[in-house]
Amino acid sequence: MILHSIWQPDTQQALFRHLMQAMTYPGRIHNLQALLDQAEVYRGILAVLLDTHTSLADEHQLLPEDDWPLLQARPAQSAEADYVLCDGAQAVHIHPRLGELANPERSATLLIKVDDLQQGEQSINLHGPGIVDRITIRPRGLNPQWWEKREEWTGAFPLGVDMILSDQHRLMCIPRSSQAEVM
């Protein structure tokens, strides 16, 4: 059996470097098409991040059943999961972990699938660490309710959630430290 490239160490290392760059520079788009061999970006990122010590909530059943044994993560409800995978077009019905003041790192990371990272009608201005002045993003296929919920979840920084948005070939990160202003 030949495994897809997202399960290969060289690909995972390259994906990890892109993910770290995306977290360091919020709102910047990273094209991963050359690394993914037609796999969805969120699958590649989950292949990098998950192991036997992590948990995942697949809220909208986006993952193929065959991926679960390879990911090795424990299935969980969103309130307990380390990572939560969602379809951004859907209304927000999750209650992710926000961490606690003594341990803000115990919050969830949301992986949100969108249609396109650049072609949306709604503009969002980001500012904060890693962003010179401001950056405007326009994801398409992201229910506006996500921005309302994010504001609620990150309102007591350092508590909150980190978001990884992905379309078919690209990713963008919005850490909890970034401020998002809906235009």
CATH top-level class of 5-182: alpha beta
Percent of the chain whose pLDDT exceeds 90? 94
Q: What does pTM read for this prediction? A: 0.95
Residue extents of the structural domains in the chain: 5-182
What pLDDT score does 128 carry?
94
Taking Cα atoms as reference points, which of 167, 170, 162, 181 lies closest to residue 26?
162
What is the band of 2 on the pLDDT scale with cuts at 50, 70, 90?
A: low
Instruction: Give the pLDDT score at 165.
Output: 98
Distance CA 122, CA 173 (A): 17
Listed in sequence order, the residues at least 6 apart from 64 whose beta carbon sits closer than 8 Å to its beta carbon are none
Examine the pLDDT at 1 and tell me if it is beyond 60: no
Gap between the Cα atoms of 32 and 165, Å rounded = 13
